[in-house]
Chains A and B, each alone.
Chain A
Amino acid sequence: MTGAARTDRLDEPEPTFAGTPPFPEAARAALANDQLRTNLGRATATIRTKRAAVVAERADWESLRLAGAAIKDEVLRDLPALLEQLEQAVTQAGGIVHWARDAAEANAIVAGIVRDHDATEVVKVKSMATQEIELNEALRQEGIEVWETDLAEMIVQLGHDLPSHILVPAIHRNRTEIRDIFRDEMWRVGRPAPDGLSDDPPELAEAARLHLREKFLRARVAVSGANFAVAQTGTVVVLESEGNGRMCLTLPEVLITVMGIEKLVPTWRDLEVFLQLLPRSSTAERMNPYTSIWTGVTPGDGPGEFHLILLDNGRTDVLSDTTGRQALRCIRCSACLNVCPVYERTGGQAYGSVYPGPIGAILTPQLRGIAKHPVDKQTASLPYASSLCGACFDVCPVRIDIPEVLVHLRGQVVRQSEATHRLPTAEAVGMRAAAWTLRTPRRLGLAERAAGLGGRLFGRRGRLRRIPGPGPIGAWFRARDLKAPARESFRAWWRRTDGGRGEN
């Protein structure tokens, strides 16, 4: 049965984010999904409260944040030397280091290693880098089956779904939906869900355990990402909650780790800072349950062969942007998602990327090369997917000023639009007209008089209601009224009454 089921699965295309419409449109569809909004609202509110409580326990939280930002800035400044130091240390400890310029190179390296060992399947630890390069899809095209072993990641994979959160990729699913996915899908790819499975969380966890255990014991190759790597000693670090990652990292014969080049820390002393920042920011725990730390290979203990793939995939381009590069400090904690009022309502899939939420809105466009060349409409819409409320910056453990980078990227979108369109967009015309009007008080005063007259013509009892129309006007009035512009502006009143002194 396993063989037949496997063939079935390899024929099915893996879902991807390709084809996601621009953010406003994707958000509209997500907002219409009441179940999604309920699941997300509940989940983000819970984690927000828990995070605030564990962060408040630390009187030195701000110092830790500053230290985290400073260490990451040092890494970004000294990246080439640190990467060479890491390569040397890993090699000395018996590991093999590969350099991958982009997704295609990284995927080809992984596939090559798996083929060299005549393996037809791999087990995976939860990893953002491998999702970024769409490794699963690439391996399956080579006839290699991929098993996600992180519980939430497995739910997404079994459900032929896309992730919607960095830490909790199935945050958009409730337990009844999860039970249905287990019942309908597990049997197709391995050990079936127990008969009469309920949606009780311990029962669901047990079903996942039994299903995964078979794969852990059988797989000969594992693929992981990395939370950190210590350049000094060539040590790689993975933090997780379930222990499924630990299974992948210790049981198979061969371990392949794909790591973004910015994941480095210089020394063990630097690591200490992040082991405090990350769990409190991500799962709202003082310490995460499993921290796996390994250096190269140790004969007779764990995988006998270790490959470390250092992935660029646009990161050095991001590094060259002095404002945008702070996004590379990110340690993928997802605190910014949980506090974001936009994410809370639209969910992660609307961002059309494995990196959703505020960090995704600044990371995805940069990794896709927004600074270098015009990008597609979906990518160009991401920097606008924010009200600039600043809640993300407040909670970021490495102090990424996300609103600052969003505004910076909006500037890049505008410049590219100017460079590629022969005629200026309606927005650009409007902005130019507004800038012209605001350049002198006389022009502004005339505009105010015209607006006051318009308000008198179209307003009813001092309000403008339901004005139809395309563009920003229609968008405002679909759900909102507006107070009609005043008959007399403040400036006109001041002049007429000498600042109120001329009034009775």
Chain B
Amino acid sequence: MRIALFITCYNDMLFPEVGRAMVRLFRRLGHEVDFPAEQTCCGQMHFNSGYKDACIPLVRRFVAAFDGYDVVVTPSGSCASMIRRYHPLVAGLAAERGEDADLPNRVAAVSPRVLELSEFLVDTLGVTDVGARFPHTVAFHPTCHATRLLGVGDRPTRLLAAVEGLTLVDLPRSEACCGFGGTFAVKNADTSVAMGQDKADDVIGTGAEVLTAGDTSCLMHIGGLLSRRRSPVRVVHLAEILAATGNDA
């Protein structure tokens, strides 16, 4: 099985530790992963902001970079949903305009193989106990796109429940959006912050030491609010917890 890692542009730049954790985790489970250096971005920011045209070259680059892999795994439910759900739409636009008549075929070959981390572990590798140890109290925020667009369901919490030493606490109103929403966070900053503060209140109320999720974008927003409030709660991506062996956390 040829496995490729799609790191996503913002994890590449802001949270490289998430990618390093994935590499470590897969290696421990006996799988080598490739990092195709030609990759850049899935185009979600442009797509969701109304700049669909700008996505066409990004989608072309994506299929070129990941063509030929059996699985493409990514630490973002949001980017995975952009690729699986909306890359076909962008490809259709490119074909309609006569810019690239074959793009829909290339996208159809690649995009269904793109999986979010918990889907890859549970469905492809068939594991829920990944041999991790993380002796902390943890709250899990199910991010909107992973939940509603991908339907990852309880895969992340099954993975967390199997981690040695980890105490998983219930996050009230967990299904409520944290208010990040990409450019929404700055275009409607007041509403975004109001939503995020309610989420931060709920997280603090659980008494958890750590908040985790399958998307660093949401964690960046909630974590930014927690940090400004001088809260001791740390935000950590799911991959980092699953990669942990107790010596490194």
Contacts and interface: CB of A to CB of B under 8 A. Distances in A.
Interface residues of A, number: 66
Given A384-B188, A490-B11, A499-B23, A31 B46 contact: no
Given A411-B52, A431-B49, A472-B186, A341 B37 contact: no
B contact patch SS: helix
Contact of A345 (B27, B52, B194): B194
B101 interface: no
A286 interface: no
B23 A463 contact: no
Q: Which size class do B's interface residues fall under?
A: 35 or more
Nearest to A415: B50
B181 interface: yes
A29 to B, nearest CB: 9
B68 interface: no
Contact of A490 (B12, B183, B196): B12
A391 B220 contact: no
A59 interface: no
Contact of A24 (B11, B16, B41, B189): B189
Interface stretch (B107-115, B124-132, B142-150, B156-164): B142-150
A388 B177 CA distance: 9
A472 B49 CA distance: 14
Contact of B225 (A427, A479, A483, A500): A479
B2 to A, nearest CB: 14
A485 B220 CA distance: 12
Contacts of B185: 475-476
Interface in B10-36: 11-17, 19-20, 23-24, 27, 33, 35
A431 B51 contact: yes
B12 A23 contact: no
A188 B82 CA distance: 57
Contacts of B177: 341, 387, 389, 391
Contact of A488 (B16, B144, B148, B188): B16
Interface in B171-192: 175-177, 179-192
Contacts of B38: 441
Nearest to B191: A27
Contacts of A447: 13
A465 interface: yes
A35 interface: no
A483 B195 contact: no
Contacts of B57: 435, 439
Given A435-B57, A441-B37, A494-B35, A346 B191 contact: yes
B7 A490 contact: yes
B189 A500 contact: no
Contact of B39 (A410, A411, A441): A441
Contact of B227 (A386, A387, A435, A463): A463
B224 A482 contact: yes
B191 A479 contact: no
Contact of B189 (A444, A475, A481, A488): A475
A293 interface: no
Most buried by B among A345, A346, A490: A490
Given A431-B49, A448-B12, A476 B145 contact: no
Contacts of A24: 187-191
Nearest to A473: B186
Given A24-B189, A441-B37, A482-B220, A407 B46 contact: no
B20 A500 contact: yes
B48 A407 contact: yes
Nearest to A449: B13
A209 interface: no
A439 B46 CA distance: 13
A482 B10 CA distance: 13
A388 B48 contact: yes
Contact of B224 (A431, A475, A480): A480
A489 interface: yes
Most buried by B among A409, A410, A428, A471: A410
A491 interface: yes
A390 B37 contact: no
A451 B15 CA distance: 12
B54 A435 contact: yes
A410 B189 contact: no
Given A28-B190, A341-B176, A441-B37, A435 B58 contact: yes
Contact of A389 (B9, B52, B148, B228): B148
Q: Which of A386, A411, A412, A491 has the most CB of B within 10 A?
A: A491
A388 B190 contact: no
Contacts of A489: 12-13, 16
Interface in A95-112: none
Given A24-B188, A478-B193, A440 B40 contact: yes
Contacts of A415: 50
A441 B36 CA distance: 10
Interface of A: 23-24, 27-28, 31, 341-342, 345-346, 383-391, 393-394, 407, 409-415, 427-428, 431-432, 434-435, 438-441, 444, 447-448, 451-452, 463, 465, 471-472, 475-476, 478-483, 485-486, 488-491, 493-495, 499-500
In order of increasing CB-CB distance, the 10 nearest A-B pairs are: A387-B181, A480-B224, A410-B50, A389-B177, A490-B16, A472-B186, A475-B189, A414-B50, A390-B148, A435-B54
27 contacts: A23-B188, A24-B191, A31-B190, A341-B195, A342-B188, A385-B188, A387-B177, A387-B184, A389-B177, A391-B148, A391-B177, A394-B148, A411-B52, A413-B50, A427-B49, A439-B58, A444-B9, A448-B13, A452-B13, A482-B220, A483-B223, A483-B224, A490-B12, A491-B37, A493-B19, A494-B37, A495-B37
Given A384-B188, A493-B19, 6 more contacts: A341-B195, A387-B192, A441-B37, A448-B12, A471-B186, A489-B12
